[in-house]
Structure 1
Amino acid sequence: MLRTRVQDLEVSDYPVVIRTNAVVQAHNEVTLSSQVTGRVVRVSPSFEAGAYFDEGEVLVEIDPRDFENALSIAKSELSAANSTLTLAKLVEERKLKLVKSNAVSQGEVDAATASREQAEANVELAASRVEQAKLQLQRTKIKAPFDGRVNTKLIGLGQVAGANNPLGEVFAIDYVEVRLPISGQQRDFLELPEFADDEPLEVTLRDGIRQASDTIWKGRIVRTEGVLDENSRDLFAIARVDDPFGRKTDMPPLRIGQPVIASIQGTTLKDVMALPRAAVRQLDRIVLVDPKDQTLRPMSVQAVWSDAEHVVVRASAIPRGMWLATTTLAYSPEGAKVEIIPEPGASEAIAETNAKGDDQKATN
């Protein structure tokens, strides 16, 4: 006789949990470069691979002496231009007074006015050169654009930094982003934020390398991308995790490039039955046991959701009061009699059925 373990089939609500895999990435990663050319005279201890730095901190300093001299020259030129302008204004005023008494010609007045206007233009030009020289001097100090960490360092003390040459790569640490692939089936069970004012969706992340680790990082899905992946047709949802390196908390660091397993709470399915995945064969075949006569009832089911543990079907798809055969049966013909294998913690109905069967055998 065929023998199988069985379990009760209960109607319940099933909360869908979407699981997907992704890799942590920086939300803002930039290459630092110099806008002026010169020899590096100072490199901050914070400008080393893996080191932290604060926004506005000077990471690299280029020899400022040439730029200080250029600023001094520009200031002198501005001073000379101002003196020339002062003299030009005095000459123009004198000519304007003398022209009233016909002591000078109108041509001389016009020439004096032109000289004053040229002197004013020279002052504006000299002032611009001063501002440019100040800006160039400020650029000898390469400052951190945000709170962050150094990814790579490409410059050293004594080297010559050229204009627009990379000095190193840095990334922001206020938060990181995780680009989560969501399949078309999974999207049916999620309400993903589409617009900026949509409610974020909570997500939990676990270590994708050490899956036995109990560390959990909390994040929020804040937006979705506007284009499906051209190969998989997945939609990518962007999750944000604040303070990834635990500077404000005691959480273990969530590093850039870290593989993670994401879990997202989806919708709750109403009036369904959650079947153990091991009890579903060939994707849609299950075997029921009629408690009345302990006979087999194989049937096909259509899943509304499935995950690693369960295949979820509508309660209306399965006759009420049946048991689910959980033992793999190589042969399961319709109406075949079976013997129920008892399990610890079996329901009273299953235990009673087994008892009745034992009594019938004893009578016979």
Structure 2
Amino acid sequence: MAGGGCEEKKEAGPPPKPPEVEVSDVVERDVPIYEEWVAQLNGQVNADITPKVQGYLLKRDYQEGFFVHKGQLLYEIDPRPFVASLDQAKAQVAVAVAQQTEAENNVTRDRPLAEQHAIPQKQLDTDISNLAATTAQVNAAKASMVQSELNLSWTKVVSPIDGLAGVSNSNVGDLVGTATKMTTVSQVNPIRAYFNISESDYLGRAQAIAHLVRGGRAQGKPIPIEFIQTNGTTFPAKGKIVLVNREIASQTGTIQIAAEFPNKDGILRPGGFGNVRIETGTNEHALLVPQAAVIEVQSMYQVVVVSPENKAMFRPVKVGERVGPNWIVTEGLKPGEKIIVQGFMKVRQGTPVTPKPYVVASEAEGN
């Protein structure tokens, strides 16, 4: 009975395993410092296409929004009035040449007669004056004919540059003249990004800028300039500074600068906005952690550090700029410390953890 009354005690289960977390080392390295300015794109040359003669538009010979070449025909103005004007100018030249020939014959005939005193000297003088006058009339008539030829040639309106042709403001049948802006052709390869920097930023780089505008080469390797498009995409081609304005704007206290970018395919268009990003220095011995490891609570930042005893320790930090997928930590961490990137929601202060290396998502997918 005594033996039967004893109850066997149940064995206690094994303690739970510490949660697995993914950790990454605090990395120390030199990080380039970038500054960005809002910029607007524009062509180096924006040619307003304006006819040099007045007339009725007969034809548009280009496709709106497409590239055109220098000398390519864009518009045709009715040439018939100018053909008639040229014919009239040619007739006036013929009349003037006939009068000049007559005056030459008179001088040739009367010169020996005047030498023989057969006619008065005054008559020869009159003949010579008439010859000079008719010669001048010939020159004037020929000049008028050249002008008529130019006017006729100007009925064909061509592009003065290689560039991108805009929407046409003139339609077939319109009366166009020297004040008519028919369209605009913009040079977009290369294209310029205009931006303004403060006077203090300019003065901090005045020596390098002065060396540049005098035609000198920058010391060391050239500084690449990037253009960040409105959708956040970085334009593939790097640019260079080509313009520093002559004055600082009194109203804004800024100076205008232009960077030039190769734009062979015309992806960047005049009028577009974006940001110009320039490397302005180096942050030496910066501490970097993955952005996913930083916890933000009411504008305060903290990370979870794994101690040498594999315990989770919450620690407040101060952060700086983002660098790609990482964040610069300016205070609160030391190089080589391990921080939790994935799994910090499963731990509390002092919780034991089982750390394993953090794998970036792209690398994990590749494996």
- TM-score computed with the length of structure 2 as normaliser: 0.68
3-state DSSP class of the match of 2:165? Answer: strand
Shift of 1:127: 0.7
Q: Which runs of 5+ in 1 are unaligned?
A: 247-252, 280-285, 292-297, 327-337, 347-364
> Residues 322, 139 of structure 1: CA spacing in aligned structure 2 closer, same or farther, 3 A cutoff?
closer
Shift of 1:119: 0.7
Larger gyration radius, structure 1 or structure 2: 2
Name which of 22, 41, 46 aligns with 2:58. Answer: 41
Match of residue 223 from structure 1: 243
Match of residue 361 from structure 1: none
Match of residue 6 from structure 2: none
Determine the C-alpha separation between the residues in 1 that align with 2:77 and 2:114. 57
Letter in 1 for 2:276: A
Match of residue 202 from structure 1: 224
Which residues of 2 match residues 106-185 of structure 1 at below 5 A? 106-183=121-198
Determine the C-alpha separation between the residues in 1 that align with 2:158 and 2:357. 67
Kept in 2: contact 1:67–1:137 (CA 8 A): yes
Which residues of 2 match residues 186-197 of structure 1 at below 5 A? 186-187=201-202, 188=204, 191-192=208-209, 193-197=212-216
Determine the C-alpha separation between the residues in 1 that align with 2:117 and 2:35. 96
Determine the C-alpha separation between the residues in 2 that align with 1:198 and 1:226. 20
Kept in 1: contact 2:226–2:234 (CA 8 A): no
Q: CA RMSD of the aligned region, Å?
A: 4.3
- TM-score computed with the length of structure 1 as normaliser: 0.68
Determine the C-alpha separation between the residues in 1 that align with 2:223 and 2:93. 59
Determine the C-alpha separation between the residues in 1 that align with 2:254 and 2:26. 37
Name which of 223, 229, 241 aligns with 2:261. Answer: 241
Shift of 1:106: 1.2
> Residues 108, 40 of structure 1: CA spacing in aligned structure 2 closer, same or farther, 3 A cutoff?
same
Kept in 1: contact 2:188–2:268 (CA 8 A): no
Kept in 2: contact 1:43–1:60 (CA 8 A): yes
Q: Which runs of 5+ in 2 are unaligned?
A: 1-22, 296-301, 308-315, 341-348, 359-367
3-state DSSP class of the match of 1:223? Answer: strand
Kept in 2: contact 1:206–1:216 (CA 8 A): no
Name which of 247, 255, 258 aligns with 2:269. Answer: 255
Determine the C-alpha separation between the residues in 2 that align with 1:59 and 1:236. 34
Determine the C-alpha separation between the residues in 2 that align with 1:36 and 1:341. 88
Kept in 1: contact 2:114–2:120 (CA 8 A): yes
- 2:50 aligned with 1:59: no
Shift of 1:181: 2.9
3-state DSSP class of the match of 1:121? Answer: helix
3-state DSSP class of the match of 1:226? Answer: strand
- 2:104 aligned with 1:89: yes
Match of residue 36 from structure 2: 19
> Residues 218, 225 of structure 1: CA spacing in aligned structure 2 closer, same or farther, 3 A cutoff?
same
Determine the C-alpha separation between the residues in 2 that align with 1:26 and 1:56. 19
Name which of 28, 38, 46 aligns with 1:29. Answer: 46
Kept in 2: contact 1:60–1:143 (CA 8 A): yes
Letter in 2 for 1:263: R
Letter in 2 for 1:83: A
Match of residue 359 from structure 1: none
Kept in 2: contact 1:245–1:255 (CA 8 A): no
> Residues 226, 215 of structure 1: CA spacing in aligned structure 2 closer, same or farther, 3 A cutoff?
closer
Q: Percent identity?
A: 20
Letter in 1 for 2:55: G
